[in-house]
A and B are shown apart, each in its own frame.
Chain A
Amino acid sequence: MATTQQALLPDHVLGAVLALAEKQNEVTNQGCDRLAFRSHDFQLQEIFHDLRETGKYPILDSFVFSDSGPVPYSPALNESVSRLQLSGLIGRENPDYEVIFVRSAANRFFDDVLKKNLDPTEINQLEKVASEFLTRVKTV
């Protein structure tokens, strides 16, 4: 039973942000062709909540955060991390799994698939989000 067609999925937004962050990281830290950073899920939640709250990035609207309980929480963001991991676009490093790294497949997915469905305004927003994201994570 078909329902309405989905717009840009949250997985795509997160995948694009991470792929673009890796590209920017490579430019900033020459020779470093891999983006890896420390983050548990609750820390990613804080970062994306803060970025969304700025109101500057409508593209992050697909990450809706709950308004109840002690901390804002977006199930879509949590699920997106899992899906990207299951898809092989990002990985986690043993033994504590705190380090997330972006795989080359993420870049290929962005260049070959996602980019074609994004307009320049959206790409511009994603680049800015990626840039802010990089300032908020501890890269390793």
Chain B
Amino acid sequence: MDNPAVPPALAERVNTFVEWLFDGYKSNVPKRPKVFNDALLGNLLFACHEVAVIDCPVMQRLRRIKQTGLVYYVFPSATHTRFEHSLGVGTLAERCFNAIRDRADVESTSPVGDPDRTKGDLAHLRMAALLHDVGHGLCSHASEQIYELLSDLREFKKDPAFVKNNPGEILSYLIVTSKKFREWFDDAVVRGCQARLSLDTISKLILGKHDEPDKWFLANIISSAYDADKLDYIARDSYYCGLALTVDLPRFMSMISIAKYKDGRVLVLRNYVPLEQILFSKMTLTGSVYQHQKVKCLDSMLRSMVGHIYENPMQAAVPVRGKTISFADPVEYLYTTDDEFFWQPNGFGDDYTRKMLNRFRHRDLFVRCLVISRRTVDNWDEGRLRLIDLNQDTYKLAKVEEEIHKCLPSTAKAHCSKHDIRLSVPGTPRIKTDDARIQTSKDAEVENIEEYFPLEQWTDAYAHNKWRSFVYAPREIAAAVRDAAMPVLKEYTGLKLDASKSNQTCHL
């Protein structure tokens, strides 16, 4: 299988970004392996060639991107970064690999992968895990939700080679396969550290693929319902948010194995209990953290800023090391990190961006004007698909927001921009189920997890009860926005909101 085809213009822009990142960087061949002390997983050991990659600008940049975006405004200790998460995923990927080998030894099944740490399957797996998040940009998933609908990336959703991947994974893939990164990697890692690694294999693993069906399980360790990424972020995000959630990692490791399936070998669970834990923890995190109303408010405020900068590039663009960023294409979200965007000493841009930056600095956030949920809508069973569709249709979402702005009384309109009216319609929480499989014993049939445990239905039942949308605006115009939004939402979605029920939550 060749590398998937990528629109050349996008690949070229990513390469330009990587050249910009490496500008002025001189890599040294690490003299010895390194141990990193991680608050969650303890001492993590990395070989010389991995240290070379960890030290390079593509990885170091992740130190300046928070793992959970703007969540730390709500959960103050959630300041952990994509960098430490990547180190954790590299380590957990190896633990999965070793657990599978241990089980294969015990069950006397065929050998599992090459454990050589400089050229074997394990080396490729660890490197893919380390690099899997290098495509994250400003505020991680918060900006991903904004840029994923820009034209270049939208094309990927029509391509069978990329359809299962989220935008961050696609950008990670493009960075790792860029001309500049390949040149650096060949020089510093392959020749400098004598690590015989294939970037083609690594980049495909990042997408959750492997050319050899016999090694599909390696791709499953990087991307599946119970991949190393999930094992790390569930444990790490809950730890740093102060939530007492758990994924029993030793138990999980003792329950994974590989099995022959459709001409290949895939990752399987011997028992679905570890997956239950992952699911419950993910659902709790989704409700308590990722879709916390204030977190969605912060995400919306980021969208306000980005939208304003995009529409006013001459006045509002972000200066970053010789570049001016106006968020006009997905790659521009990579140039600026959280630190560079929010904490430039003198701010940047025009009055609106400075005002918004001050809002973030002083935590002067927008407030809820309306809650849209089954508890606040009188005709919830009628036409709410039109509301949910707005999550996929940002064109229409922007129209609704603009319409609310237009309907404001002139006194309120004078005090706000159209970007100050935000309608937040979250997606539904998902767990990838296509590769979640059970094999209860080594000779048993491989079955889909849903035969045992209604995975999808747990997430859907959760969404049914917890899913809410919000209208946000600055506090001083909140009541006016609420009054303007109700008829607009009725016109666009058919939903009849009960203002008194919504007010009980919004405290207007």
Give A contacts to B, CB under 8 Å: 1-6, 9, 11-12, 15, 40-42, 45, 64-71, 73-76, 78-79, 81-89, 92, 96-98, 103, 105, 108-109, 112-113
Contact = CB atoms under 8 A, between A and B. Distances in A.
A2 B454 contact: no
A108 B459 CA distance: 26
B456 A4 contact: no
Interface in B375-418: 380-386, 388-389, 392-396, 398-399
Contact of B382 (A6, A74, A105): A105
Given A1-B394, A6-B392, A66 B428 contact: no
A114 B234 CA distance: 39
A95 to B, nearest CB: 9
B196 interface: no
A33 B455 CA distance: 29
Nearest to B433: A41
Contacts of B261: 70
Nearest to B149: A3
B458 to A, nearest CB: 9
Given A41-B450, A86-B428, A88-B381, A113 B396 contact: no
Interface in B159-192: 159-161, 163-164
A42 B380 CA distance: 29
26 contacts: A2-B399, A4-B151, A4-B395, A5-B393, A11-B385, A40-B450, A40-B456, A41-B433, A42-B434, A64-B158, A66-B164, A69-B208, A69-B219, A70-B262, A70-B264, A71-B434, A78-B433, A78-B456, A82-B430, A82-B459, A83-B385, A83-B388, A85-B460, A86-B388, A88-B381, A96-B454
B317 interface: no
A2 B459 CA distance: 30
B163 A66 contact: yes
A51 B501 CA distance: 45
- Chain B CB count within 10 A is highest, among A74, A78, A97, A98, for A97
B385 A68 contact: no
A64 B433 CA distance: 16
Given A9-B389, A84-B385, A92-B460, A42 B164 contact: no
Contacts of B151: 3-4
Interface residues of B, number: 63
Contact of B388 (A40, A65, A87, A108): A87
B85 to A, nearest CB: 23
Contact of B163 (A64, A85, A97): A64
The 3 closest A-B pairs by CB, nearest first: A87-B385, A70-B262, A67-B160
A79 B430 contact: yes
Nearest to A87: B385
A103 B394 CA distance: 28
Contact of A64 (B157, B303, B392, B393): B157
Given A1-B303, A89-B385, 6 more contacts: A1-B311, A66-B164, A69-B435, A75-B163, A82-B428, A85-B460
B380 A88 contact: yes
B35 interface: no
A9 B297 CA distance: 26
A78 B464 CA distance: 16
B459 to A, nearest CB: 7
B467 interface: yes
Nearest to A42: B448
A3 B394 contact: yes
A74 to B, nearest CB: 7
A73 B381 contact: no
Contact of B396 (A5, A73, A76): A5
A1 B306 contact: yes
B433 A42 contact: yes
Contacts of A68: 1, 161, 164, 207-209, 219
Contacts of B393: 5-6, 9
A1 B209 contact: no
Contacts of B1: 68
Contacts of A83: 385, 388-389, 428
Contacts of A82: 428, 430, 456, 459-460, 463
Given A82-B430, A88-B380, A105-B382, A2 B398 contact: yes
B382 A108 contact: yes
Interface string B214-233: 00100100000000000000
B486 interface: no
A113 B159 contact: no
Contacts of A2: 394-395, 398-399
B457 A97 contact: yes
Contacts of B161: 66-68
Contacts of A41: 433, 450, 456
Candidate in A42, A89, A105 with the most chain B CB atoms within 10 angstroms: A42
Contacts of B392: 6, 9, 11
Given A3-B149, A3-B150, A109 B396 contact: no
Given A2-B394, A42-B433, A66-B160, A113 B383 contact: yes
Contact of B159 (A3, A64, A87): A64
Contacts of B381: 88, 103, 105
Contacts of B454: 92, 96-98
Nearest to B213: A70
A1 B310 contact: yes
